[in-house]
Amino acid sequence: MSMNSMIETRNLVAGRWEQGAGTVANVNPSDLSDVIGHHAQATVAQLDSSVDAARRAQRKWWASGIQKRHDVLMAIGTELMARSEEIGRLVSREEGKPLAEGKGEVYRAGQFFTYFAAETLRQIGDHAQSVRPDIEIDVRREPVGVVAIISPWNFPVATPAWKIAPALAFGNGVIWKPANLTPASAAAMADIIARQDIPEGLFSMLAGPGAEIGQQLVEHSGIDAISFTGSVPVGRGVAATAIQNMTKVQLEMGSKNPIIVMDDADLDLAVSHCAGAAFGGTGQKCTAASRLIVHEMVHDAFVEKLAAAARALKVGHALEKGTQIGPAVSAAQLEGNLGYVELGKSEGAELVCGGNRLERPTEGYFMAPAVFAQTTNDMRINREEMFAPITCVMKAGSYDEALTIANDSEFGLTAGIMTQSLARASHFRANMRAGTVMVNLPTAGTDYHVPFGGRGASSFGPREQGQYAVEFYTAVKTAYVYAGAAE
């Protein structure tokens, strides 16, 4: 049994913490005997009152001005950073990532708020001369209104933070629907926001099943914009609904990120980056490296070293010292992972290591990181996002062939190349169809002050993060003013 305390969380409805229509149990994937708590499931009536309150509060928030918004965002960010150990532990306990990653995620969430606190003060606009006499033109940005934010479980604090922070910074109201698997860390962040001096109901958090409260939120006529991160099928449905209502929409979805390893690469660095990007976070990252395209000259040595690196990774309880890879987040996720291992074998890929469920002192969803070799890009394991600690190696005879394979995917989030050739690195930067390209770096691991997003089925709509975030969270207004003819 766990020595941790039970956390009974409610929903933040129009400024008040309320019970909902029943609760769901929140279970630690590293230790199924550790029931973290129970979480209230929001109702449609609570959604309606949250949206009404947010519409009223948003106007007051916008009117309160940039210094106020700056101070509130700075306070939220500072508290998240100061409490990163405590809330990070909660993230690790309910999501299953190692403690250092949980803590790092919460600290990063704080940085998103302090970054966007500063952005509130950068309000330099555009002024234009009219083609007609005595008319002045300016182009300004206004809040888009009330934004629905829908986030997944794999970065339960950082992902909503990089959406909530710009939404509030640019003067919007927010209704946040967190993932149902990670309610305790969501409630912790919502509590920090709710305690600020903000208009009542400006920010609400409503948890529940995506197909119910999530869908009702997306369909709600009081929502002006939807920022969604999650899977492609759900994203496609969100977009279809948004178009029906003419609601502004932004989607961040799946991926199948490649890393090309060339014959001139520093092989040990390549192995370390590929293993880190493939297996970190149990492979449950949208930036995970799942297709490793390796030049034939170094292929066999690479596979051998990668398998050795995978075998050496310590898989265990997320809160245990020394753990490098935690469990899969849920029974369904583990079952899906093991299903992909079977699928790979049935497609003719060679399972070099891992792929089996692991026993640990506590009962949890642990599996050994898996490396498939002898794979081809038409196999389903190379086409579908697995979101698992499984990576697939493909052999390429040349850089051109490797690039063609890398680009042959419906996704385009991140992509990397390991090479010492500046010419190849430059060609890759220019010709890789992806939102983010990495040279001699892993596909996972991005900064917080520059844009993030992908191409193809990975993303839809304006970019997130950095100064590019303004595009989604604001509406542009062009004002023409005739001040009378000059004397």
The two structure tokens encoding residue 286:
């949208």
Angle at 379 between CA 377 and CA 383, to 5 degrees: 70
Minimum Å distance from CB 343 to ligand NAD? 17
Residues paired with 303 in a beta bridge: none
Minimum Å distance from CB 77 to ligand NAD? 20
Going by the DSSP 8-state scheme, the letter that residue 53 receives in this structure is H
Q: Which stretch binds ligand NAD (CB under 6 A): 30-38, 134-142, 152-160, 358-366?
A: 152-160
Binding track, positions 327-366, relative to ligand NAD; x by CB under 6 A: ----------------------------------------
Residue with Cβ nearer ligand NAD (234 or 370): 234
Q: Can residue 204 be called a binding residue for ligand NAD (CB under 6 A)?
A: no
Going by the DSSP 8-state scheme, the letter that residue 23 receives in this structure is E
Selected from 154, 204, 247, 323, the binder of ligand NAD by CB under 6 A is 154
Selected from 61, 115, 170, 387, the binder of ligand NAD by CB under 6 A is 387
Point out the residue whose Cβ comes nearest to ligand NAD.
210
Minimum Å distance from CB 233 to ligand NAD? 7
Which of 94, 95, 286, 392 does the annotation list as catalytic? 286
Q: Can residue 290 be called a binding residue for ligand NAD (CB under 6 A)?
A: no
Which of 94, 119, 252, 385 does the annotation list as catalytic? 252
Compute the distance between CA of residue 27 and CA of residue 396 in angstroms, rounded to an integer. 43
Q: Which stretch binds ligand NAD (CB under 6 A): 206-214, 266-274, 336-344, 470-478?
A: 206-214
Torsion of CA 352, 353, 354, 359, to 10 degrees: 140
Selected from 80, 175, 190, 253, the binder of ligand NAD by CB under 6 A is 253
Which H helix or E strand runs over 210?
none
Pairing of strands 146-150, 173-177: parallel
Query: Catalytic residue at 142?
Result: no
- What angle in degrees, to the nearest 10, is found between the helix axes of 66-82 and 158-169? 160
Selected from 230, 258, 344, 389, the binder of ligand NAD by CB under 6 A is 230
Pairing of strands 7-9, 35-40: parallel
Residue with Cβ nearer ligand NAD (284 or 377): 284
Kindly write down the DSSP assignment for every residue of 126-171, as one continuous string: EEEE-SSTTEEEEEEEEE--EEEEE--SSSTTHHHHHHHHHHHHTT
Tell me the C-alpha to C-alpha distance, in Å, between residue 476 and each of 115, 127, 141, 207: 22, 13, 5, 32
Over the Cα atoms of the chain, what is R_g? 24
Query: Catalytic residue at 401?
Result: no
Selected from 57, 298, 413, 417, the binder of ligand NAD by CB under 6 A is 413
Residues paired with 148 in a beta bridge: 175, 226
Compute the distance between CA of residue 283 and CA of residue 286 in angstroms, rounded to an integer. 8
Q: Which stretch binds ligand NAD (CB under 6 A): 48-56, 145-153, 191-199, 307-315?
A: 145-153
Residue with Cβ nearer ligand NAD (307 or 413): 413
Contact residues toward ligand NAD (CB under 6 A) are: 150-155, 159, 177, 179-180, 210-211, 214-215, 218, 229-231, 234, 237-238, 252-255, 286, 385, 387, 413, 458
Catalytic amino acids?
252, 286
